[in-house]
Structure 1
Amino acid sequence: MTSRRIALVVNPTSGRGLGARVAPVVQRRLEAGGLDVDRYETTCAEDVGRISAEVVASGADGVALVGGDGTLHLGAQVLAESGMPFGVIPAGTGNDFARGLGVPLKDPVAAADLIVAGRTRAVDLAVAEGRFITTVVAGGFDSLVNKRANAMTWPKGNARYTLATLAELRTFTPLSYVLTVDGERIETDAMLVAVGTGPTYGGGLQICAGAEIDDGRLDITIIRPVSRLTLLQMFPKLSKGTHLGHPAVHTLRGATVRLESPTVTAYADGEILGPLPVDIGIAPGALTVYG
């Protein structure tokens, strides 16, 4: 019986060096599980897509990608619709795609075991601006927080999002939006609008609580205007998904979303997507994952 050949693609700088520390542990576990491992290391963001394309062309049986949501986003651009199984080894700040898949976040050996087991399933990706998106498109207060958090060098981990949230709250005012969901036009003022295939962003905030990553639908969450204090009080609820009972929170589901607001820059998978308007669609079952 021929053993499976896995390409281990490592972003050594993800998670402030966590990727480099995790990689040898994962490689040993994959090899102990009987897999042949070809290891690749990225030196810049552009490497992820190039290496992923090389892996697809090489005829490997699958890919294990060590990195955070930004790294996975780049890999997904090549691996989506390729049919090549894709294993996630979380090593970033947010790790929201891994969280949505149910991959163990703090146990790289357990994450590697999912690849060794070899079971696969197909999951959905959102599509916007010609790009595949693995988690959530953020537009509004949350995208401003994302921008600020990305620019911060301290503190590490999710605490960056907390500090960025407090900083943005000082000056934020509600925004005017036009949403078109499956052809139905909605005009509303809101603090934010989020559109995702999975439930979380920002390192575990369940903005689209209850979203299923393989149901062929986009989940939309609108937080209508509230006071700054109320918005601040909502953030702990976002971690648990209990914000959905708040009267200012409105949720929708659909296959296509057009999001418009004159001053908003959208973020997706924690990175800049571009200024609104943006059209978001769904690619059902676009990515094959281990787990």
Structure 2
Amino acid sequence: MVDSGARSASALPAASRPAQRWLARFAFLAAAAATVLVLAVAGLRGGIALLVVAVAGMATALAGVWWFLTHRGLLRWLAAAVVILAPLAVAVLYARARLVWVVVVFALLWSAALAAGRQALSASAARPREHDTPPPRRPYLIMNPRSGGGKVGRFGLVQRARALGAEVVLLDGAGTDVAGLARQAVHDGADLLGVAGGDGTQALVAGIAAEHGLPFMVVSAGTRNHFALDLGLDREDPASCLDALTDGVELRVDLGMVGSRTFVNNASFGAYAAVVQSPAYRDDKTRTTLDLLPGLLTGQRGPGLRLSAGDTVVAGPQAVLVSNNPYATGDIAGLGHRLRLDGGVLGVLAVRVRGAFDAAGLVRGRRRSGSLTVVTADEAVIDADAPSVSVGIDGEAVTMPTPVRCTIRPGVLRVRVPRRRPGAGSPRPELDWVRLRRLALPAGRA
């Protein structure tokens, strides 16, 4: 690929640096004001006792969440009542002490601090490089008419794609050989492969596109469209993704591998994978999840797992998530946003919960605690005390022999996206207070 047309916005314009610094300073000022407010009220009105009540209420609610997830029947619904009543009781106590205004002002100040801090950091975040390349001459698109509740038909994607010169094939059943269709299209001379469907279908075709060095195109016609989100595509209007056929640019992104299978988002093991594996999952996801979680979280169901990622070893996790580049720190389910798709590393997350105390640590997102381990690596190996293990590959359930090896393939996928797309700006970074402090200080002191 010729890089002369590549554009990068990783360098921060000099004019924006003062604004970035003042945003960082405002974030610290707002956070300090919120802290001073609470301390002042606690000293003047005996608020320390009420702070203890708030902490106790939170702990009780977290314990209720744990009991709700790990029990069935009457105990589950009693736990649900505790989850609702505990914060309600705290709110009543604060209202009686006439301290509701403190909570409201504290929340507003912290919200302002977080917003300013993220804005300051996003101004210096590196954007993905965009490569200007000619439009494809023989694009080939695979569309699933059932995906996303029928988005293909609702948005007229077939007619629009064909009007732009693309060959379109519709999947007519669950047993269709998607990989075979893509390989035949390459054999027939296709110079772009695309998918309007779920992330699992996208992963299959993306692997074949990378194998042949062809550009790949995503049309956000799935249910969750996680890969489309991280590519900056419009998830509300799948038809806008077709603009890439006429006015597009290319991004170079990584692909994950679990065994010989490709994944664009993540591969999951343990609790989540076992839920996805259930035949009833697609018909009633919520009920199936609630029915299976008690046994999975308390170790009564599923094989014992062991994770090795670089120098990190975790024995007995209930759930492991290996992602194509790491998710944001607070996203323990892999349902949110990745800051980039070209970092060349796997994000590895392991959950090991043994009770309400661990559950509280999990909710707070403590890294490398007894409940949550978050690392990055170029390889992760998941073993089990069983000859095979359930794996959720981009939401698709499979069974693989153990041990299962996950790796990353940096920059192997050429993704063609519209030049104008909602998420083409700077990624939304995690709030790193150390980086923010360096931005807030004058250049000499930093």
Once residues 103 and 290 of structure 1 are traced to their aligned partners in structure 2, the CA distance between those partners, rounded to angstroms, is 11
Matched with 2:390 is 265
Once residues 359 and 222 of structure 2 are traced to their aligned partners in structure 1, the CA distance between those partners, rounded to angstroms, is 27
- Write the deviation string for residues 191-240 of structure 1: whole angstroms up to 9, x where unpaired: 2111110556xxx9436864632111111001122437975996xx7xxx
Q: Return the structure number with greater helix share.
A: 2
Once residues 164 and 277 of structure 1 are traced to their aligned partners in structure 2, the CA distance between those partners, rounded to angstroms, is 27
2:317 is the counterpart of 1:220: no
Matched with 1:250 is 373
Q: Return the structure number with greater strand share.
A: 1
In the alignment, is the contact (CA less than 8 A) between 2:200 and 2:263 conserved in 1? Answer: no
Amino acid at match of 2:391: A
Secondary structure of the corresponding residue to residue 201 of structure 2: helix
Among 276, 279, 282, which residue is 2:405 paired with?
279
Among 313, 316, 321, which residue is 1:189 paired with?
316
Residue 289 (structure 1) shift: 0.8
Amino acid at match of 2:316: D
* TM-score, normalised via structure 2 length: 0.53
Residue 163 (structure 1) shift: 3.5
Cα 1:164–1:113 change in 2 (3 A) is farther
In the alignment, is the contact (CA less than 8 A) between 2:145 and 2:170 conserved in 1? Answer: yes
Once residues 251 and 74 of structure 1 are traced to their aligned partners in structure 2, the CA distance between those partners, rounded to angstroms, is 27
**Percent identity at matched positions?**
28
Cα 1:258–1:152 change in 2 (3 A) is closer
Cα 1:30–1:228 change in 2 (3 A) is farther
In the alignment, is the contact (CA less than 8 A) between 1:169 and 1:228 conserved in 2? Answer: no
Matched with 1:92 is 222
Once residues 319 and 355 of structure 2 are traced to their aligned partners in structure 1, the CA distance between those partners, rounded to angstroms, is 13
Among 12, 15, 28, which residue is 2:160 paired with?
28
Among 155, 169, 181, which residue is 2:293 paired with?
169
Once residues 407 and 135 of structure 2 are traced to their aligned partners in structure 1, the CA distance between those partners, rounded to angstroms, is 39
Residue 140 (structure 1) shift: 0.9
Once residues 338 and 171 of structure 2 are traced to their aligned partners in structure 1, the CA distance between those partners, rounded to angstroms, is 34
* The 10-residue stretch of structure 1 (85-94 or 171-180) with the greater mean CA deviation from structure 2: 171-180
Matched with 2:42 is none
Cα 1:284–1:3 change in 2 (3 A) is closer
Cα 1:30–1:233 change in 2 (3 A) is farther
Matched with 2:172 is 43
Residue 10 (structure 1) shift: 1.4
In the alignment, is the contact (CA less than 8 A) between 2:256 and 2:263 conserved in 1? Answer: yes
- Write the deviation string for residues 176-201 of structure 1: whole angstroms up to 9, x where unpaired: 4332223x36142322111110556x
Secondary structure of the corresponding residue to residue 43 of structure 1: coil
In the alignment, is the contact (CA less than 8 A) between 1:114 and 1:290 conserved in 2? Answer: yes
2:281 is the counterpart of 1:146: no
* TM-score, normalised via structure 1 length: 0.79
Q: How many residues align?
A: 271
In the alignment, is the contact (CA less than 8 A) between 1:48 and 1:75 conserved in 2? Answer: yes
Q: Give the number of the structure whose alpha-carbon radius of gyration is greater.
A: 2
Matched with 2:237 is 107
After superposition, the CA RMSD in angstroms is: 3.2
Matched with 2:147 is 14
